[in-house]
Amino acid sequence: MLFMPNLFSVSHFYCFFVAEIRWCAGDNDQLKTQIDAYIQKHVADVINSNKLSVLPRILIEIVGADETILGNKIDAHIFHLVFNWAKNMLAQARGSFNYLTEQTHMLYLNNNQTLQDCGFLDDSSLEEDDMIKDYKLLSKKKQLANCKNKMDASNFSPNQLRKLASGDCEWIQSEHEWSLLASYQSAERTSVGITIMNGSLSIVTLHLRPCPPHSPSSTVSDPESPTNVPSTDVSRPGSIERNVSLTLLAQMSTARCSFGLAILNKNLVAVGGYERGECLRSAEMFNIQDNVWTSLPPMKVARGRVAVAVLNNKLYACGGSDGHHELRSVECYDTETNKWSFVADMQTERSCPGVVALNNKIYCIGGCTGQRCIADCEAYDPVTNKWHSIALLNEGHFQAALCTYDGKIFAIGGSSSWNCLNSVNVYDPNTDVWQTYSCLNTPRRGAGADIIEGKIMVVGGSDGTRSLRSTEVYDKENDSWSLGPQLGMDRANVSVVTLGNKLFAVGGFSGKKFLDSLEYFNPLSEEWCCYSPVENIFQLSSNAEESNKDHNEVTDLSKKARKSHSKAQNNNIPLNNCANGII
């Protein structure tokens, strides 16, 4: 029979029946939401009901989880790491769905926060553990060739009709759904979850095992091995020294592209930008230690393609577009009053400019007005509340990545009309002269740049045809650029800033969607990460402190900024006429 959702209320479902209803809910999102809420409330009863004993059961042991990070509680995110592992197993044809259910799987938590089957690790330090050694022998015996059978109805195929043991209901499962419906802690370091994996309703049990002892003399032959790092006198594999949690960095309240990003008192502050054709007035602040975004008062004017800088305890948002016109107005956020106010207008309206603070002045470089690239540059003196012109760029451009380095302003890449640039122009405020430095390896517009470990890193952007995840690092001694570690995802019109000992890349456009996510580059591991760090990132090395000196951090943000606007709305304005329509 067909289930009609209007015949019952969720509160009348029996535990043994509710999971079956969830499985065949199809595209009825409202019904799914109701049932999921019920399952979450009664998860132990649902999972332990006799009716669900027919479901596939997947047993996972996770090795390499840092007890100081995870404690005894298994976060829901670990289930999603298991989903990613299972997807890879099925995609690589290592086995059918049978393979997931026919044995206990021992998975290693890698340094990049992925799970890898211990049976495929070439790591002598792990082989010292008897349980891992036995598991690897078992994996070799199976050879995975015995698991070539395709998924069929007996394995809860997502594409075929299925009749449960009750024999009175027939339906088609939702295809390719991967969901954790609910989980509960059944024992110390053990959680049980009811899941839908590739459309198959399944019970997954996860158990955390302490990491095996590590031998300092062990070697690693597999470059993907989690312990493939130089090490002496260490007590555990290198991946355990990750200093990150398994908690994803919190997302912004809204996706943002071409927005302003700066540091205020050890917090990231994101301002304006646009998302899906709407310019934004909103501003929000990210506390990295608490992993929380908090709303700040919105600007007086919506500003897409805006740039910001911090000077003398204040944040300045310069130019941009309100969705109809390029702007010359400038707003200033004062942390003491927790308010935005207008200061003197720039001499030229411009969107997509570059803005930095240097030598107690705000510099606004380039930009565009309509189809016209701007070579004009100007500087703002907060003492006189006036803008004055400085030397013109050698070539007008917009969407360049700006940062200050060695007392100079670097304008990197950008766009001239429709051409992406790889040029690097450097302004010396002492001589009021622009010079040309060595070019980037890849032309890019809409990239971000800042200083990390005493070097400039240019991040992401677009080459004119696609969004980029590549980075480049500047070598001052040789005046040359070399490729750096790649981002976790493509990000054009990304905003980049150094906070503590990490370089953050926030928001942007992936080529398919506007982004509300962020990630950071950790110079210690030389990789990008999207998980919340465990250590205090403000216990900086002297190099990191020196590289961050141009960021004029302000005094503590008022409590009013943290609380009174926690429910502030975005106050969006349609983006009808933003310059050039360039993503």
- The angle at the Cα of 127, spanning 126 to 131, to the nearest 5 degrees, equals 95
**Host H or E run for residue 574:** strand 573-574
Burial 387-413 (b: 16+ CB within 10 A, else e): beebeebeebbbbbbbbbbeebbbbbb
Predicted local confidence at residue 111, as pLDDT: 67
Whether pLDDT at 149 is above 60: no
* Domain spans, the chain: 5-242, 247-553
Q: Which of 45-49, 231-235, 353-357 has the lowest mean pLDDT?
A: 231-235
pLDDT of 33 strictly over 60: yes
In single-letter form, the type of residue at position 504 comes to F
Token pair belonging to 127 = 């082989």
- Can you say whether the dihedral through the CA atoms of 34, 38, 40, 43 is positive or negative? negative
Amino acid at 43: V
Q: What is the pLDDT of residue 549?
A: 44
Strands 278-279 and 274-275: antiparallel
Structure tokens at 326: 């390029």
pLDDT digit string, tens, across residues 262-281: 999 999 999 999 998 899 99
Average pLDDT over residues 33-46: 81
Report pLDDT for 18. Answer: 64
Burial of 11 (0-12, 13-18, 19+ CB in 10 A): exposed
Q: State both tokens at 225.
A: 């091995």
Chain segment 494-547, per-residue pLDDT in tens: 999 999 999 999 999 999 999 999 999 999 889 999 888 876 666 544 444 444
Q: Which residue has the higher pLDDT, 87 or 547?
A: 87
pLDDT over 80 (residue 163): no
| Three-state DSSP state, 553 | coil
Q: What angle do CA 414, 472, 364 make, to 5 degrees?
A: 35
Higher pLDDT, 32 or 259: 259
The top-scoring range by mean pLDDT among 81-85, 176-180, 246-250, 366-370 is: 366-370
Q: How confident is the model at residue 126 (pLDDT cuts 50, 70, 90)?
A: low
Quick one: pLDDT at residue 561? Answer: 40
Q: Assign 31 a pLDDT band (cuts: 50, 70, 90).
A: confident
Run of H or E including 559: helix 559-563
Is the pLDDT at 176 greater than 80, yes or no? Answer: no
Range 546-566 average pLDDT:
40
Confidence of residue 140 (pLDDT cuts 50, 70, 90): low
Output the pLDDT for position 240: 36
Highest mean pLDDT among 80-84, 156-160, 339-343, 539-543: 339-343
Contact call for residues 349 and 324 (beta carbons, < 8 A): no
Exposed / middle / buried, residue 472 (Cβ in 10 Å: 0-12, 13-18, 19+): buried
pLDDT one-digit tens code per residue, 567-583: 344 444 444 443 344 45
The pTM (predicted TM-score) of the whole model is 0.68
What are the angstrom distances between the C-alpha of 524 and each of 452, 528, 575? 11, 11, 41
Q: How far apart are CA 508 and CA 496, in angstroms?
A: 10
Apex 31 CA angle, 28 and 36, nearest 5: 120
Look at residue 132 in the predicted model and tell me its pLDDT: 76
pLDDT category of residue 19 using cuts at 50, 70 and 90: low
pLDDT of residue 572: 45
Give the pair of three-digit tokens for residue 132. 């891992």
Residue bearing the bigger pLDDT, 72 or 365: 365
Model confidence at 378: pLDDT above 90: yes
518-522/527-529 β-pairing: antiparallel
Q: Lay out the sheet containing 408-412: strands in order across.
A: 401-405, 408-412, 424-428, 433-437
Q: What is the mean pLDDT of residues 110-139?
A: 73
The confidence score (pLDDT) of residue 232 equals 29
What is the CATH architecture assignment of 247-553?
6 Propeller (2.120)
Tell which wins on pLDDT, 45 or 240.
Answer: 45
Instruction: Report whether 81 contacts 113 (CB < 8 A).
Output: yes
Beta bridge pairs of residue 365 = 354, 377
Strand stretches in 393-530, DSSP E: 401-405, 408-412, 415-416, 419-420, 424-428, 433-437, 448-452, 455-459, 471-475, 480-484, 495-499, 502-506, 518-522, 527-529
> What's the whole-number mean pLDDT along residues 253-262?
98
Helix (H, G, I), strand (E, B) or coil at 68: helix
Point out the least confidently predicted range of 53-57, 60-64, 441-445.
53-57
| Lowest-pLDDT range of 255-269, 351-365, 374-388, 559-573 | 559-573
Q: Which helix (H) or strand (E) holds 59?
A: strand 57-63
| Structure-token match 């330090």, residue found | 125
Contact 540, 500 (CB under 8 A): yes
Whether residue 250 is predicted with pLDDT greater than 50 in this model: the reply is yes
Is the pLDDT score of 122 beyond 90?
no
Asked whether the predicted pLDDT for residue 440 surpasses 90, the reply is yes
Least confident of 123-127, 334-338, 549-553: 549-553
Strand runs labelled E in 164-291: 170-172, 179-187, 190-197, 200-209, 244-248, 260-264, 267-271, 274-275, 278-279, 283-287
* pLDDT-based confidence at residue 243 (cuts at 50, 70, 90): low
Cα-based torsion angle of the residue sequence 533, 536, 541, 546 in order, rounded to the nearest 10 degrees: 90
- Of 369, 440, 356, 362, the C-alpha closest to 398 is 369
pLDDT, averaged across the chain: 78
For residue 244, give both structure tokens.
């990150």
Which amino acid does the sequence have at 332?
Answer: C
pLDDT of residue 570: 42
Give the pLDDT of residue 128. 60
Contact in structure between 457 and 484 (CB atoms under 8 Å) = yes
Instruction: Check residue 221 and give its pLDDT.
Output: 34
Burial classification of residue 108, based on how many CB atoms lie within 10 Å of its CB (0-12 exposed, 13-18 middle, 19 or more buried): buried
